[in-house]
Structure 1
């Protein structure tokens, strides 16, 4: 009857993952409902769109790209940033210039990391949370994290079922019945994934449902005729992959050497 223990373990894994997803979805809905009246009818700034799409590091990326396109910052394909105009036009630009340092030159990766933790970014996050457009920091598991756990639960449950089927089965319990018992927690996890796909997709680590609705109205593609604001909005929403200049994209390719896996690309 060792297969029963495996079945209980499969139910525990599936139940914990699906419960976590339901709680995360409920928290996200509560955040969106709380700030729906405040956030509705407003336009996102460039930095706000960047934060809701990719978090603090996306805000730093957009600032660097904007300054580079205005020729106030030189981003070399070797991965170094050089200050051309030391006068920042807003708090984010001043944070970037301060992160580069008094010598006026620094690798892009540490500049990006320092700018992402600056007070200016925290101020953007606080405003978005108060407006109900962003998920509060420390609010618990986000939908994206919960969906990831449910996805991991699927092969775990399937693996436990396979182990149970490979073990010697008791005479009173045919193998097809054991398979049917394990099919129940597997069906639960797959059903939760399907419902999450239709009900709360796209999954976001940063934006609440209300914030995602505002992001959905922003442009995600641009062409050669697009103005600078539209271009930067695309970078804010899609990340560095929306940058069209090869040299500029090459400059950002060096950041992984310093920061490892990128969570806001």
Structure 2
């Protein structure tokens, strides 16, 4: 009857993951006042800045990426295809730019990868996040697991159930126990996990670790009215990340990796 222990584990994994998903969805629904120009203190009819759109789409590091690209497009920062950033104009026009310049360091030159990491953890970006949380557009850090994280846990639980089912079918069982019946018992938690994933897919998709439901609606509105001039490049990067960069040398600046050192 060892397969019963495996079945209990399967139910434990599935039940825990599904409950966490339900709780995350309930928290998201409770925090969402619903669509409207202003509901529950959430203002949805204002234009997002590039920094705000970047944070809601990709978090703090996306803000750093957009700032680096914005300064590079204005010739105030040079981004080399070898992965180095060089300050041309040391005077930042806002606190985010000043934080990026500070992340580059007093020498005015640094590798881009550590600059992105340091700039993403500056006080200026943290204040931006706090403003978005207060406006109801961003998910607070202390809000518990997000829907996206809960969905990943349910997926992991479904995979664990499948592995446990295979293990239960491979081990010796009593002669009066049908392997088909064992498989059907494991099919129940597997079906439950798939059902939760399907409901989450249609009810609360897309999942974002940064933007609340209201924030996702504002981002959707930004996509629909995005202009076709120069700011659209930075807007595309803010919404989609560095994969939206079409210039090969500029993309190489962000994706460059040092070759391993050889003796």
Q: Which residue in 2 is equivalent to 1:252?
A: 254
2:145 is aligned with 1:135: no
Q: Which of 62, 66, 71 lines up with 1:67 in the alignment?
A: 71
**Does the CA-based 8 Å contact 1:221-1:234 persist in structure 2?**
no
2:45 is aligned with 1:41: yes
**Does the CA-based 8 Å contact 1:14-1:185 persist in structure 2?**
yes
Q: Which residue in 2 is equivalent to 1:262?
A: none
Alignment map for 1:72-111 (pairs within 5 Å): 72-111=76-115
Superposition deviation, residue 169 in structure 1: 2.4
2:244 is aligned with 1:242: yes
Q: Distance in 2 between matches of 1:135 and 1:96?
A: 24
Q: Which residue in 2 is equivalent to 1:175?
A: 179
**Does the CA-based 8 Å contact 2:146-2:208 persist in structure 1?**
yes
Cα deviations by residue, 1:70-103 (Å, 9 ceiling, x for unpaired)? 1110000011111111111111111111111222
RMSD: 2.0
Q: Which residue in 2 is equivalent to 1:7?
A: 7
Superposition deviation, residue 255 in structure 1: 6.4
**Does the CA-based 8 Å contact 2:14-2:154 persist in structure 1?**
yes
Q: Distance in 1 between matches of 2:16 and 2:172?
A: 29
**Does the CA-based 8 Å contact 2:137-2:213 persist in structure 1?**
yes
The DSSP-based 3-state class of the residue aligned with 2:33 is helix
5+ long unaligned stretches in structure 1 = 258-265
Stretch moving more, 32-41 or 51-60: 32-41
Q: Distance in 1 between matches of 2:111 and 2:32?
A: 38
Superposition deviation, residue 26 in structure 1: 1.3
Q: Distance in 1 between matches of 2:177 and 2:116?
A: 60
Count of aligned positions: 255
**Does the CA-based 8 Å contact 1:57-1:116 persist in structure 2?**
yes
Q: Distance in 2 between matches of 1:130 and 1:121?
A: 14
CA gap of 1:171–1:256, structure 2 versus 1, over 3 A, is: farther
Q: Which residue in 1 is equivalent to 2:26?
A: 26
5+ long unaligned stretches in structure 2 = none
Cα deviations by residue, 1:24-66 (Å, 9 ceiling, x for unpaired)? 1111222223965422222211101100111000000000011
CA gap of 1:206–1:32, structure 2 versus 1, over 3 A, is: same
Q: Distance in 1 between matches of 2:29 and 2:258?
A: 34
CA gap of 1:251–1:36, structure 2 versus 1, over 3 A, is: farther
Q: Distance in 1 between matches of 2:106 and 2:158?
A: 52
**Does the CA-based 8 Å contact 2:42-2:214 persist in structure 1?**
no
Q: Report the TM-score, using the length of structure 1 for normalisation.
A: 0.91
Q: Report the TM-score, using the length of structure 2 for normalisation.
A: 0.91
Q: Which of 36, 52, 55 lines up with 2:56 in the alignment?
A: 52
